Amino acid sequence: MTDATFDEYDDEDEAGGGRRRTLSNTQLLGYIWRHWTAEPRRFAMAAGIFLTATFCDLAIPWAVKDLMDAVSRTRDADLAWKAWGLLSGLYAAYYLLRSTGFRLLNGFYARIMERIVTQGFSRVQSYSSDWHASNFAGATVRKVSRAMWGYDSASDALLLMLMPTLIVLGGLAVSMGVRWPLVGLFVAVLVGFFAVYNVLMAKYFTQPANQLSNRLDSSIGAALADAIGGNPVVKSFGAEAREEQRFAEVVARWRRSVIRTWNRFNLTGIGQNLMLIALQAGLTGMLLNAWTKGQATAGDVAFAITSFMLMAGYMRNFSEITRMLQKGLDDSLDVAVFMRTPPQLADKPGAPVFRGEMGEIVFDKVTFGYENQPAALYRDFSLRIAPGERVALVGPTGSGKSTFVKLVQRLYDVQGGRILIDGQDISAVRQGTLRRAIAVVPQDPALFHRTIAENIAYGRPEATADEIELAARRARAHDFIAGLPKGYQTLVGERGVKLSGGERQRVAIARAFLADAPILVLDEATSSLDVETERQVQAAMEELMVGRTTIVIAHRLSTIRSADRILVFDRGRVVEEGRHGELVGAGGAYARLHAVTEGAA
């Protein structure tokens, strides 16, 4: 697959910022630290337990030295048994403390992972419709779910592996330096070089490759969701083989990248092993040389060998530590970026709830344009819709009809002017409360893979079964629902695929009935219905519109004959307005649209 075609699966931006954002390892470590310290007492207890266990491990070479000296020099049985008891006690304490620490960490980690994924989901939910339109759902799902496991890997690497490694290596270097300055200096220099080598290799050699692998991993989720979501289209064109090939190319690109990443980790490990060989040869050789000169005992040599084995065990894991840590940080990157990037349409601090029951809508000198368009769609646009008025919006594609409704819902912020509903500036109130006052029935209703009852009650989850059934009856949906094996408890499938287009439309209309909002938006709400059902639903909608401000987006002009006012849009302007008969008689833009649609009918 070429870079150009791969870009189809690459998000346009990380969090609505336009360009891909990244964070340094230091910033990512700060992100993990904030999660740790959200429960300071539990974190301090866990860290203290593992710290104590590490000091037990650090003391083992000295206990071995005492035991060997007692056996080889003094031949004092009591002293030997005491040394044996100390060594055995250190081992027992080490394993007991670690087991206790792991038990404490289980709940601590699980709560943090829960918090990471729920906060990530909440932040993604808060992003604008434009952001969601620019980012693949499959890639976003992958990023959010991957972040909690990234935290798990990074935390294990830091708390359970890196911290003990640094304490043991540093502690042994210092304790050796006190007794044998040259040996301590040799160990300290080699350990320091080892640490610097790993940090530099992680930052400049393995991290870039690993981050690219993660992006390609996200592209797998994006490509998979794109193809599965469009499966009906794939089948209708018999394009299964083509989609399989397309997906295989995305996976193949990931495979090449992840092999390169793993090879870089392996090359880093080769350098680590060479330094381990140098440590073994140098440490044991220097103590053996001291023994030959009578400057060290057999216990000292045993101490050197035990110290090397202990240090080698930790250092040998350093490759795994750096790999786990870097991968964990990289896996956490996307959600960490999300959490640092505020929503594009944020509520103002202390914003009040929206309180409106009349449904008056006023556009006051509104200027608005989409980011990807060179010119503004609306310029100083003003319009008033009276409470309870039924207004139809007509006009060619791109004329501004759908944008009008999106602005009323505050899915975008205007660049100039203001929009008032019942006298309240919608940019100053809480978005959730505003949108709950607007019931929308779209042309292609999206249902959740939940029961029919849950989908109807989505706007009023506290609704009773009787209220749900009444809404379905008014939407002419009860009969087909009652005929299903599980009735209102039938699962509708992802996006409602188990229902026909007309059935989905009627469930969406029932949802609008139950929401009982003062403003109603109908976007070709009867477009998927047969003629007989359309008549029935139209009658039900006439009842629903009574006493509510209604905005109807229409392409079939026959559905808006009863509108109080028809607004004809063209390039973000209202070029004509009036009732159906008046506009047809005027012989203008609406009359021409009417002639075309009537002729097509």
DSSP sequence for 149-185: HHHHHHHIIIIIIIHHHHHHHHHHHHHHHHH-HHHHH
Cβ neighbours of 480 (radius 10 Å):
17
Strands (E), 332-461: 361-368, 378-385, 390-394, 416-421, 424-425, 438-441
259 close to 212: Cβ distance less than 8 angstroms: no
289, two tokens: 């040389």
Supply the pLDDT for residue 525.
Answer: 67
Q: Which string of DSSP letters, residue by residue, matches 216-249?
A: HHHHHHHHHHHHHHTHHHHHHTT-HHHHHHHHHH
Model pTM above 0.75: no
Antiparallel, parallel or unpaired: β 549-553 and 519-523: parallel
432, two tokens: 């959730």
Strand partners, 421: 361, 424
Supply the pLDDT for residue 254.
Answer: 87
Supply the pLDDT for residue 78.
Answer: 80
67, two tokens: 């035991």
Find all residues with CB under 8 Å of 179, minimum gap 6, and list them: none
Residue 266, CA atoms < 13 Å, CB-side half-sphere: 6
- Helix (H) or strand (E) run with residue 569 in it: strand 565-570
Find all residues with CB under 8 Å of 521, minimum gap 6, and list them: 405, 408, 438, 439, 440, 441, 550, 551, 552, 553
259, two tokens: 């092999």
9, two tokens: 């699966």
306 close to 64: Cβ distance less than 8 angstroms: yes
Q: How far is CA 495 from the centre of its chain?
A: 20
427 close to 410: Cβ distance less than 8 angstroms: yes
Cβ neighbours of 465 (radius 10 Å):
10
From the CA atom positions of the chain, what is the Rg in Å? 34
338 close to 344: Cβ distance less than 8 angstroms: no
pLDDT tens readout for residues 506-536: 888 888 888 888 899 988 766 656 677 677 6
CA pair distance 553, 349, nearest whole angstrom: 34
| C-alpha separations of 554 from 267, 329, 376 in Å | 64, 50, 23
Query: Which ranges of the chain have pLDDT less than 70?
Result: 1-21, 73-75, 136, 229, 231-233, 235-237, 316, 318-319, 525-530, 533, 536-537, 556, 558-559, 597-601
Supply the pLDDT for residue 232.
Answer: 63
143, two tokens: 């990023």
Domain spans in the chain, listed from the N-terminal domain onward? 3-340
Q: What is the DSSP letter of 496?
A: G
Cβ neighbours of 16 (radius 10 Å):
20
CATH 3.40.50.1980 fits 3-340, yes or no: no
Which amino acid belongs to residue 269?
Answer: G
Find all residues with CB under 8 Å of 15, minimum gap 6, and list them: 21, 127, 131, 337, 338, 341
Find all residues with CB under 8 Å of 141, minimum gap 6, and list them: 221, 225
Give the ranges where 293-428 is alpha helix by DSSP (H). Answer: 298-316, 318-340, 401-408
Q: Exposure string (b/e) for 273-297, b if CB count within 10 Å is 16 or more?
A: eebbeebbebbeebbeebeeeeebb
Q: What is the DSSP letter of 392?
A: E
CA pair distance 218, 138, nearest whole angstrom: 8
By the 10 Å C-beta count (0-12 exposed, 13-18 middle, 19+ buried), 238 is classed as: exposed
Supply the pLDDT for residue 565.
Answer: 93
Residues in the chain, total: 601
Q: Which string of DSSP letters, residue by residue, matches 24-74?
A: -HHHHHHHHHHHHTTSHHHHHHHHHHHHHHHHHHHHHHHHHHHHHHIIIII
CA pair distance 373, 362, nearest whole angstrom: 25
80 close to 32: Cβ distance less than 8 angstroms: no
CA pair distance 576, 544, nearest whole angstrom: 27
State in Å, rounded, how far the first CA of the chain is from the last one.
46
33 close to 114: Cβ distance less than 8 angstroms: no
485-490: long-range pairs with CB below 8 Å, 24+:
486/451, 487/452, 488/451, 488/452, 488/453, 488/456, 489/451, 489/452, 489/453, 490/451, 490/452
251, two tokens: 């996976």
513 close to 392: Cβ distance less than 8 angstroms: no
Q: How far is CA 170 from the centre of its chain?
A: 39
Supply the pLDDT for residue 79.
Answer: 82
DSSP reduced 3-state for 355: coil
Supply the pLDDT for residue 558.
Answer: 65
